[in-house]
Amino acid sequence: MATQTAAQRREAAKAAYDAFLACCPARQLLDTISDKWVTLILAALSDGPKRYSELSRIIAGVSQKMLTQSLRTLERDGLVSRTVTPRVPVRVDYELTTLGRGLQEIMGTMKRWAERNIEEVHAARAAYDTRENSPAGRAAAG
């Protein structure tokens, strides 16, 4: 029972870590906002309620599967409210909740930081990519 102990320990550690992460509010938030469409929906709703078809048009590249799926997630998390008007053609409006607007502010904070520092990141990338091509000086640079 000594041969695969390493793998088993790793597996156990992974399980413990996953459990830890699952409980971490920050990770849950990240999992939510890291979704490409969620962020776009939030942004689209920032200037008032929108209908399903409006969102579909504004966000453009989204498939209705992802749009519906993302909206349901947002609704479930209490970030947007869903209002159904059972007319002849059904009408559904989506709107940011107070919680959703709070999340928007966080996104705004992130956005500002990103805009202030993106150039530095790009510069770092360019430098890194340049070094990558130079024949010597990578390992011996330190």
Q: Note whether 77 binds its own copies by CB under 8 A.
A: yes
The number of angstroms, rounded, from the C-alpha of 60 to the middle of its chain's C-alpha atoms is 18
Instruction: Measure the CA–CA gap between 61 and 17, rounded to whole angstroms.
Output: 36
Which residue, 23 or 60, is less far from DNA as judged by CB?
A: 60
Query: Helix, strand, or coil here: 124?
Result: helix
- Cα pseudo-dihedral 27, 104, 41, 100, rounded to 10: 80
Instruction: Measure the CA–CA gap between 113 and 70, rounded to whole angstroms.
Output: 26
Binding partner of 58, given its own copies, DNA, none, CB within 5-8 angstroms per partner class: none
Binding residues for DNA (CB under 7 A): 7, 10-11, 14, 35-37, 51-53, 56, 61-66, 68-69, 71-72, 82, 84, 89-92
What is the contact surface with its own copies in residues (CB under 8 A)?
10, 13-18, 21, 25-31, 33-34, 36, 39, 59-61, 75-79, 83-86, 99, 102-103, 106-107, 109-111, 113-115, 117-118, 120-121, 123-125, 127-129, 139-142
